[in-house]
Chain A
Amino acid sequence: MLAKRWLDHDRGGYVLLGVLAVLAVVVPVANLAFPDGSPLHLSTFMVTLLGKYLCYALLALALDLVWGYVGILSLGHGAFFALGGYAMGMYLMRQIGARGVYGNANLPDFMVFLNWDTLPWYWHGFDAFWFALVMVVLVPGLLAFVFGWLAFRSRVTGVYLSIITQALTYALMLAFFRNEMGFGGNNGLTDFKELLGFDLQSDKTRVVLFLTSIAALALGYIACRYVVTSRLGRVVAAIRDAEGRVRFTGFRTHHFKVWVFTLSAVLCGIAGALYVPQVGIINPTEFQPLNSIELVVWVAVGGRGTLYGAALGAAVVNYAKSTFTALLPEVWLFVLGALFVLVTIALPRGLVGIAARFKRAQHA
Chain B
Amino acid sequence: MLTTAAAAVAGEEEFTQALAALAAASSYADKDAAATAIAASAHPRAEPVLGAMSRGELYTRGSDSRLVTVTDAADGFALVDAATGEDLGTAGKSDVNRVTLNNALRSSLRGLLATLKLHHADPKQRIAAIREVGESGDLEMRQTLTELLATEQNSGVRTAIDTAVATLNLDSTEPAERLAAIERVGGVVNSLVRTKMSALASNETLDEETRSAARRAVIDIERHVAVYDVVQTAFFGLSLGSILVLAAIGLSVTFGIMGVINMAHGELMMLGAYTTYVVQQLMPNALGASLFVAMPAAFLVAGLVGVAIERGIVRRLYGRPLETLLATFGVSLVLQQAVRTIFSPLNRSVVTPAWLSGSVEITPGLDITLNRLYILLFSLLVFGALLLVLKRTRLGLEMRAVTQNRAMAAAMGIRTDRVDLMTFGLGSGIAGLAGVALSQLTNVGPNLGQAYIVDSFMVVVFGGVGSLWGTLVSGLSLGVASKLIEPAAGAVMAKIFVLVFLIVFIQKRPRGLFPQKGRAAEA
Whether, in the assembled complex, A142 has its beta carbon less than 8 Å from a beta carbon of chain B, the answer is no
B492 touches A178 (CB 8 A): yes
Whether, in the assembled complex, A348 has its beta carbon less than 8 Å from a beta carbon of chain B, the answer is yes
Binary interface encoding of chain B residues 331-346 relative to chain A, with 1 for a CB under 8 A from any of its CBs, else 0:
1111011101100000
Whether, in the assembled complex, B454 has its beta carbon less than 8 Å from a beta carbon of chain A, the answer is yes
Binary interface encoding of chain B residues 506-520 relative to chain A, with 1 for a CB under 8 A from any of its CBs, else 0:
111010000000000
Whether, in the assembled complex, A32 has its beta carbon less than 8 Å from a beta carbon of chain B, the answer is no
- Which residues of A, 193-231, contact B by the 8 Å Cβ criterion? none
B322 touches A73 (CB 8 A): yes
Residue from the list A170, A333, A334, A344 in contact with B499, Cβ < 8 A:
A170
The complex places the Cα of A297 from the Cα of B327 at a distance, in Å, of 10
B326 touches A340 (CB 8 A): yes
Q: Which residues of B contact A348 (CB under 8 A)?
A: 323
Q: Which residues of A contact B320 (CB under 8 A)?
A: 344
Q: Which residues of B contact A330 (CB under 8 A)?
A: 337, 340-341
B454 touches A170 (CB 8 A): yes
Whether, in the assembled complex, A338 has its beta carbon less than 8 Å from a beta carbon of chain B, the answer is yes
A163 to B, closest residue via Cβ: B457
- Which residues of B, 291-321, contact A by the 8 Å Cβ criterion? 313, 316-317, 320-321
Interface size on A, residues (CB 8 A): 41
Identify which of A33-41, A117-125, A152-160, A356-364 touches chain B: A152-160
B322 touches A293 (CB 8 A): no
B323 touches A344 (CB 8 A): yes
Residue from the list A150, A170, A336, A343 in contact with B333, Cβ < 8 A:
A336
Whether, in the assembled complex, B400 has its beta carbon less than 8 Å from a beta carbon of chain A, the answer is no
The complex places the Cα of A289 from the Cα of B457 at a distance, in Å, of 14
With A73-B322, A174-B495: A341-B506 Cβ-Cβ less than 8 Å: no
Name which of A147, A166, A168 has the most chain B CB atoms within 10 A of its CB. A166
A156 touches B329 (CB 8 A): no
A156 touches B340 (CB 8 A): no
Interface size on B, residues (CB 8 A): 40
Number of A-B contacts (CB under 8 A): 118
Q: Which residues of A contact B507 (CB under 8 A)?
A: 150-151, 153-154, 156
B345 to A, closest residue via Cβ: A330
Binary interface encoding of chain A residues 267-296 relative to chain B, with 1 for a CB under 8 A from any of its CBs, else 0:
000000000000000000000010001001
Whether, in the assembled complex, A18 has its beta carbon less than 8 Å from a beta carbon of chain B, the answer is no
B492 touches A177 (CB 8 A): yes
Q: Which residues of A contact B454 (CB under 8 A)?
A: 163, 166-167, 170, 289
B491 to chain A, nearest CB (A): 9
B309 to A, closest residue via Cβ: A341
B125 to chain A, nearest CB (A): 46
A336 touches B330 (CB 8 A): yes
Whether, in the assembled complex, B496 has its beta carbon less than 8 Å from a beta carbon of chain A, the answer is yes
Whether, in the assembled complex, A133 has its beta carbon less than 8 Å from a beta carbon of chain B, the answer is no
A160 touches B327 (CB 8 A): no
The complex places the Cα of A338 from the Cα of B158 at a distance, in Å, of 68
Q: Which residues of A contact B261 (CB under 8 A)?
A: 159, 162-163
Whether, in the assembled complex, B504 has its beta carbon less than 8 Å from a beta carbon of chain A, the answer is yes
Whether, in the assembled complex, A339 has its beta carbon less than 8 Å from a beta carbon of chain B, the answer is yes
The complex places the Cα of A340 from the Cα of B340 at a distance, in Å, of 19
Whether, in the assembled complex, B35 has its beta carbon less than 8 Å from a beta carbon of chain A, the answer is no
- Which residues of A, 317-364, contact B by the 8 Å Cβ criterion? 330, 333-334, 336-341, 343-345, 348
Residue from the list B329, B330, B496 in contact with A175, Cβ < 8 A:
B496
Whether, in the assembled complex, A139 has its beta carbon less than 8 Å from a beta carbon of chain B, the answer is no
A293 touches B329 (CB 8 A): yes
Q: Which residues of B contact A177 (CB under 8 A)?
A: 492
Name which of B327, B333, B496, B507 has the most chain A CB atoms within 10 A of its CB. B333
With A337-B337, A338-B330, A339-B330: A164-B496 Cβ-Cβ less than 8 Å: no
Whether, in the assembled complex, B502 has its beta carbon less than 8 Å from a beta carbon of chain A, the answer is yes
B499 touches A341 (CB 8 A): no
Name which of B313, B324, B506 has the most chain A CB atoms within 10 A of its CB. B506
The complex places the Cα of A162 from the Cα of B324 at a distance, in Å, of 12
A155 touches B510 (CB 8 A): yes
Residue from the list B325, B326, B337, B500 in contact with A171, Cβ < 8 A:
B500
B460 to A, closest residue via Cβ: A163
Whether, in the assembled complex, B244 has its beta carbon less than 8 Å from a beta carbon of chain A, the answer is no
The complex places the Cα of A345 from the Cα of B315 at a distance, in Å, of 10
A343 to B, closest residue via Cβ: B326
Q: Which residues of A contact B341 (CB under 8 A)?
A: 330
The complex places the Cα of A156 from the Cα of B510 at a distance, in Å, of 6
The complex places the Cα of A177 from the Cα of B333 at a distance, in Å, of 24
Whether, in the assembled complex, A82 has its beta carbon less than 8 Å from a beta carbon of chain B, the answer is no
A121 to chain B, nearest CB (A): 20
Whether, in the assembled complex, B503 has its beta carbon less than 8 Å from a beta carbon of chain A, the answer is yes
Whether, in the assembled complex, B247 has its beta carbon less than 8 Å from a beta carbon of chain A, the answer is no
The complex places the Cα of A339 from the Cα of B323 at a distance, in Å, of 12
Whether, in the assembled complex, A300 has its beta carbon less than 8 Å from a beta carbon of chain B, the answer is yes
Q: Which residues of B contact A150 (CB under 8 A)?
A: 503-504, 507
With A167-B454, A289-B454: A345-B313 Cβ-Cβ less than 8 Å: yes
B509 to A, closest residue via Cβ: A154
B325 to chain A, nearest CB (A): 6
B323 to A, closest residue via Cβ: A344
A156 touches B506 (CB 8 A): yes
Q: Which residues of A contact B506 (CB under 8 A)?
A: 151, 154, 156, 160, 164
A261 to chain B, nearest CB (A): 15
The complex places the Cα of A178 from the Cα of B332 at a distance, in Å, of 28
B341 to A, closest residue via Cβ: A330
A194 to chain B, nearest CB (A): 34
B334 touches A334 (CB 8 A): yes
The complex places the Cα of A348 from the Cα of B326 at a distance, in Å, of 12
A340 to chain B, nearest CB (A): 2
With A158-B322, A170-B454, A341-B313: A333-B336 Cβ-Cβ less than 8 Å: yes
Given contacts A159-B261, A167-B499, A340-B329, 16 further A-B contacts (CB under 8 A): A151-B506, A151-B507, A156-B506, A163-B454, A163-B458, A164-B461, A167-B458, A334-B337, A336-B330, A339-B330, A340-B327, A341-B330, A344-B326, A345-B313, A345-B316, A348-B323
Could you tell me which B residues sit within 8 Å of A by CB distance?
261, 313, 316-317, 320-327, 329-334, 336-338, 340-341, 454, 457-458, 461, 492-493, 495-496, 499-500, 502-504, 506-508, 510
Sample of 18 A–B contacts (CB below 8 Å): A73-B322, A154-B507, A162-B322, A163-B461, A166-B457, A174-B495, A174-B496, A293-B329, A297-B326, A333-B336, A334-B337, A337-B330, A337-B332, A337-B333, A341-B327, A341-B330, A343-B326, A344-B317
Closest 9 CB pairs of A and B: A340-B330, A337-B333, A337-B334, A333-B337, A171-B499, A337-B330, A344-B327, A344-B323, A341-B330
